[in-house]
Amino acid sequence: MNRDNLELRKFVAPEFIIGADARLLAGRYAKNFSSQHVLVVTDPNIARNSWFSDVTGSLGDAGIASTIFSSVTPNPRDTEVMEGANIYAEAACDAIVAIGGGSAIDCAKGIGIVSSNGKHISDYEGVDRITVPSPPLICIPTTAGTGAEVSQFAIINNTDRNVKITIISKKIVPDIALIDPLPLTTLTPELTAHTGMDALTHSVEAYVSNASSPVTDIHAIESIRLIQSSLLSAYRTPKNIELRYQTMLGSLCAGLAFSNASLGAVHAMAHSLGGFSDLPHGECNALLLEHVMAFNFPACPGRYEAIGQALGTDLSALGHTEKKEKIIDGIRTLRETLGITDSLGNLGVTREDIPTLAQNALRDPCMATNPRQPSQKDIERIYEEAL
């Protein structure tokens, strides 16, 4: 027997509840954690929605006080984490509720780390650097993309170095995720497209990761099927809550896959772009995915073929090169149909930026699990292709 198939792999997942109105359980769960005062971490756009008040209302109904910290920006910054941690301490909070996309959830994870461990958030960069567990964290995702509600990852922008730092630790896996499709019905088409392509990138990268396992594979492939069958329709009919539920399920499965199998070059390169010029994370992934797939393809063609099949691509009677082209064409067509048609150049990235971007991408922990190890020149070439 080939012992490669018997390699030890672990799978970490938090408790989660998925379904209509799951967000209304925030109060009950905060009470289960014996909380008396929670810090609600969100962004200003989220805080304007009526479904946001439902969450703070459920906390109030459970007799729990709340302080709202809504200064989180896309690509959350270290300064926001430190400010949030100060507010957490000043208000004597004992738990955190994050409501939002990946930015709010990652910022909340950062606030939890600093509140329990005391130092600057940048001191926890890397894998397993956190010693003290964070306070209870309840996550309510409002996009179908991030996966942060179930992951052991947090990505924070270091504003001194203009790079995104990646923090990976079992100690930042949320205590409970309340996954409710209703907030998605108010998500703009642009954010639906960006976050949906982020989720698809999570599953593709987790599936070809050299840390994948049979359990992450099941979640990754199912996630690709779910996103393929629901994302475009949800983009076109934003109020359809059943379609939104399907995209959320796809994003959840992608999150479970990547939290355990890690990611690859697309995310390493997107993190580098996000730190350097504050570009939307999902859009960066969408613009890079097809180029990284072309680079990685020779390392694991069978895996990409399975991805193609999950995307519904008919690959029968095709040769190796034709299969590769058809799978990548499918990804490009989906991206363009979702209205993501800019290039990195249109978004302000210049040829002169590329060497620094490539250097930072090579240092990102996500690069370690890419199925093909690229050189600095390889990464520069991929950025140029997307320029």
Q: Which stretch binds Fe ion (CB under 5 A): 12-20, 34-42, 71-79, 198-206?
A: 198-206
What is the residue type of 6?
A: L
* CB contact at 8 A, 269 and 361: yes
Q: Residues 2 to 41: which contact Fe ion by CB under 5 A?
A: none
Residue with Cβ nearer Fe ion (164 or 303): 164
Sheet of 37-41, strands arranged across: 15-18, 176-179, 137-141, 95-100, 37-41, 65-69
Least separation in angstroms between residue 148's CB and Fe ion is 8
Least CB distance to Fe ion at residue 270 (A): 7
Is 222 a binding residue for Fe ion by CB under 5 A? The answer is no
Nearest distance in Å: CB 198, Fe ion: 4
- Residue 43 or 198: which CB sits closer to Fe ion? 198
CB of 338 vs Fe ion, minimal distance in Å? 16
Q: How far is the CB of 25 from Fe ion (least distance, A)?
A: 26
Tell me the closest approach of the beta carbon of residue 53 to Fe ion, in angstroms.
Answer: 29
Scanning the chain, the segments in alpha helix (DSSP H) are 26-32, 50-61, 78-90, 102-117, 189-208, 214-236, 241-261, 265-277, 281-296, 301-310, 320-337, 354-363, 376-386
- Based on CB atoms, which residue is closest to Fe ion, 228 or 240? 228
Element (H, E) at 95: strand 95-100
Work out whether strand 65-69 and strand 37-41 pair parallel, antiparallel, or are unpaired: parallel
Closer of 66 and 203 to Fe ion (Cβ): 203
Q: Would strands 15-18 and 65-69 be described as parallel, antiparallel, or unpaired?
A: unpaired
Among the listed ranges 35-43, 47-55, 194-202, 233-241, the one in contact with Fe ion (CB under 5 A) is: 194-202
Distance CA 112, CA 134 (A): 5
Smallest distance, Fe ion to C-beta of residue 231, A: 15
Smaller CB separation from Fe ion, 198 or 364:
198
Written as one letter, the residue type at 380 is E
Nearer to Fe ion, 78 or 198 (CB): 198
CA angle 276, 292, 13 (to 5 degrees): 80
CB within 8 Å of 131: residues ≥ 6 apart: 117
Q: What is the dihedral of CA 139, 142, 143, 146, to 10 degrees?
A: -20
**Among 289, 282, 77, 253, which Cα is nearest to 191's?**
282
The stretch among 21-29, 197-205, 304-312, 323-331 that binds Fe ion (CB under 5 A) is 197-205
Strand order in the sheet with 153-158: 126-127, 163-168, 153-158
Q: Which stretch binds Fe ion (CB under 5 A): 72-80, 119-127, 196-204, 368-376?
A: 196-204
Give yes or no for residue 305 binding Fe ion (CB under 5 A). Answer: no
Candidate list 94, 198, 205, 283; residue touching Fe ion; CB under 5 A = 198
Residue number, 93 or 361, with CB nearest to Fe ion: 361
User: For tokens 């004597």, what's the residue?
Assistant: 92
Measure the CA–CA gap between 165 and 109, rounded to whole angstroms.
Answer: 13
Total residues in contact with Fe ion, by rule CB under 5 A: 1
Stretch that binds Fe ion, among 12-20, 46-54, 108-116, 193-201 (CB under 5 A): 193-201
Of the pair 105, 121, the CB lying nearest Fe ion is at 105
Which position's Cβ is nearest Fe ion?
A: 198
Residue nearer to Fe ion on the CB measure, 84 or 147: 147
Footprint of Fe ion (CB under 5 A) = 198
